[in-house]
Amino acid sequence: MPDNINDQPTPPKGIDIGAALGAGGPQVGAKIKKAEDFKGTMKRLFKYLKPQYPPILAMIIIAGIGAWFAVWAPDIMKKITNHLVESIQFFKEVDLGYVSNIAWTCVSLYVLNALFMFTSNLIGATTSQKIVRRMRTDLKNKLDKVPLSYFDQQSTGDIISRVTNDIEMVSVTIQESFVQIITASMTVVGVFVMMIRLDYVLALIVLGSLPVLAFLTRFIIKKSQKEFANMQYYTGIINGHIEEAYSGHMVIRLYSHEKESIEEFEKINDKLKAATRKAQFLAGCILPALKFVNNLNFVAISVFGGLRAGTGLVSIGDIQAFIQYTRQFAQPIENVSNIANTIQTAVAAAERVFGILELEEMTPEKEHVDVSNVVGEVDFENVSFSYTKDKKLITDFNLHVNAGESIAIVGPTGAGKTTIVNLLMRFYDVDKGRITVDGKDIRDYHRNDLRSLYGMVLQDTWLFEGTVAENIAYGNPNATRDQIVEAAKKAYAHDFIESMEHGYDTVLSDDAGNISQGQKQLLTIARAILKNPKIIILDEATSSVDTRTEKFIQSAMLAMMEGRTSFVIAHRLSTIKSAAVILVMNRGQIVETGNHDELIAKGGFYCDLYRSQFQGNSIDDFEESQSCFEQT
45: alpha, beta or left, given left = phi > 0 and alpha = psi -120 to 50? alpha
pLDDT higher at 20 or 253: 253
**Average pLDDT over every residue of 569-596:** 79
**Is 125 in contact with 56 (CB distance < 8 Å)?**
no
Q: What is the pLDDT of residue 24?
A: 32
The answer for residues whose C-beta is within 8 angstroms of residue 283's C-beta and 6 or more apart is: 220, 224, 228, 340, 341, 344
Report the C-alpha gap between 86 and 80 in whole angstroms.
Answer: 10
Q: What is the pLDDT of residue 272?
A: 86
**Residue 27 pLDDT class (50, 70, 90 cuts):** very low
Strand 466-467 relative to strand 507-508: parallel, antiparallel, unpaired?
A: antiparallel
**Is 94 in contact with 81 (CB distance < 8 Å)?**
no
**Is 317 in contact with 85 (CB distance < 8 Å)?**
yes
**Is 144 in contact with 357 (CB distance < 8 Å)?**
no
Q: What is the pLDDT of residue 292?
A: 80
Q: What is the pLDDT of residue 381?
A: 92
Q: What is the pLDDT of residue 575?
A: 66
- Residue 1 in this model has a pLDDT that exceeds 50: no
Q: What is the pLDDT of residue 485?
A: 93
**Residue 3 pLDDT class (50, 70, 90 cuts):** very low
15: nearest Cα among 353, 272, 286, 241: 353
In a domain, 442, yes or no: no
Report the C-alpha gap between 187 and 68 in whole angstroms.
Answer: 7
Q: What is the pLDDT of residue 31?
A: 33
- Residue 252 in this model has a pLDDT that exceeds 90: no
In a domain, 565, yes or no: no
- Residue 590, classed as helix, strand or coil, is strand
Q: What is the pLDDT of residue 33?
A: 32
Report the C-alpha gap between 401 and 437 in whole angstroms.
Answer: 10
DSSP run (H or E) holding 77: helix 53-89
- Which residue type sits at 279? A
DSSP sequence for 278-308: HHHHHHHTHHHHHHHHHHHHHHHHHHHHHHH
DSSP run (H or E) holding 569: strand 565-569
Cβ neighbours around 66 below 10 Å, total: 23
Report the C-alpha gap between 523 and 504 in whole angstroms.
Answer: 11
Q: What is the pLDDT of residue 132?
A: 82
**Residue 5 pLDDT class (50, 70, 90 cuts):** very low
319: nearest Cα among 333, 294, 301: 301
> Of the residues 305, 337, 357, which one is the last residue of a structural domain?
357
Report the C-alpha gap between 342 and 174 in whole angstroms.
Answer: 10
Out of 65-69, 333-337, 472-476, least confident range:
333-337
Q: What is the pLDDT of residue 484?
A: 92
**Residue 436 pLDDT class (50, 70, 90 cuts):** very high
256-269 pLDDT, tens digit per residue, is 777 888 888 888 88
Mean per-residue pLDDT over the chain, rounded: 77
- Give Rg (Cα) of the chain: 35
Q: What is the pLDDT of residue 111?
A: 93
- Residue 570 in this model has a pLDDT that exceeds 80: no
Q: What is the pLDDT of residue 90?
A: 67
- Residue 481 in this model has a pLDDT that exceeds 90: yes
433: nearest Cα among 390, 382, 369: 382
Report the C-alpha gap between 602 and 593 in whole angstroms.
Answer: 10
489-543 pLDDT, tens digit per residue, is 888 889 889 998 889 999 887 666 678 777 888 888 888 888 888 898 888 766 6
Q: What is the pLDDT of residue 236?
A: 76
In a domain, 114, yes or no: yes
**Average pLDDT over every residue of 131-147:** 85
In a domain, 502, yes or no: yes
For residues 180 and 327, membership in a common domain is answered with: yes
> Of the residues 322, 337, 357, which one is the last residue of a structural domain?
357
**Average pLDDT over every residue of 138-163:** 81
Total domains, the chain? 2
Q: What is the pLDDT of residue 18?
A: 30
Full domain range(s) for residue 522: 462-532
pLDDT higher at 294 or 420: 420
443-470 pLDDT, tens digit per residue, is 999 888 888 898 888 777 778 888 999 9
In a domain, 481, yes or no: yes
**Is 453 in contact with 371 (CB distance < 8 Å)?**
yes
- Residue 565 in this model has a pLDDT that exceeds 60: yes
Kindly report the CATH number assigned to the domain that includes residue 490.
Answer: 3.40.50.300
Q: What is the pLDDT of residue 630?
A: 43
Report the chain's terminal Cα–Cα distance, integer Å.
45
How many helices (DSSP H) and strands (DSSP E) are in the chain? 24, 12
Q: What is the pLDDT of residue 480?
A: 92
According to DSSP, residue 382 is labeled: E
In a domain, 52, yes or no: yes
**Average pLDDT over every residue of 164-180:** 78
Q: How far is CA 214 from the centre of its chain?
A: 35
- Residue 208 in this model has a pLDDT that exceeds 80: no
Report the C-alpha gap between 154 and 545 in whole angstroms.
Answer: 31
Report the C-alpha gap between 570 and 554 in whole angstroms.
Answer: 12
The phi, psi pair for 356, rounded to 5°, reads -70, -40
- Residue 614 in this model has a pLDDT that exceeds 70: no
Question: pTM above 0.75?
Answer: no
Kindly report the CATH number assigned to the domain that includes residue 130.
Answer: 1.20.1560.10
For the chain, percent of residues with pLDDT exceeding 70: 83
45: nearest Cα among 351, 341, 360: 351
567: nearest Cα among 438, 410, 426: 410
- Residue 549 in this model has a pLDDT that exceeds 50: yes
According to DSSP, residue 124 is labeled: H
Q: What is the pLDDT of residue 466?
A: 86
**Residue 99 pLDDT class (50, 70, 90 cuts):** confident
341-396 pLDDT, tens digit per residue, is 677 778 888 888 888 888 888 877 788 888 888 888 999 999 988 887 777 788 88
**Average pLDDT over every residue of 72-96:** 77
In a domain, 627, yes or no: no
- Residue 619 in this model has a pLDDT that exceeds 60: no
The phi, psi pair for 280, rounded to 5°, reads -70, -35
Q: Using alpha carbons only, what angle is made at residue 118 by residues 167 and 43, rounded to the nearest 5 degrees?
A: 35
The phi, psi pair for 292, rounded to 5°, reads -60, -45
**Is 405 in contact with 445 (CB distance < 8 Å)?**
no
Q: What is the pLDDT of residue 379?
A: 92
Q: What is the pLDDT of residue 440?
A: 92
For the chain, percent of residues with pLDDT exceeding 90: 6
User: What burial class does residue 581 get, using C-beta atoms within 10 Å of its C-beta: 0-12 exposed, 13-18 middle, 19+ buried?
Assistant: middle
In a domain, 388, yes or no: no
For residues 353 and 480, membership in a common domain is answered with: no
**Residue 420 pLDDT class (50, 70, 90 cuts):** confident
- Residue 7 in this model has a pLDDT that exceeds 50: no
> Of the residues 486, 504, 532, which one is the last residue of a structural domain?
532
**Is 468 in contact with 521 (CB distance < 8 Å)?**
no
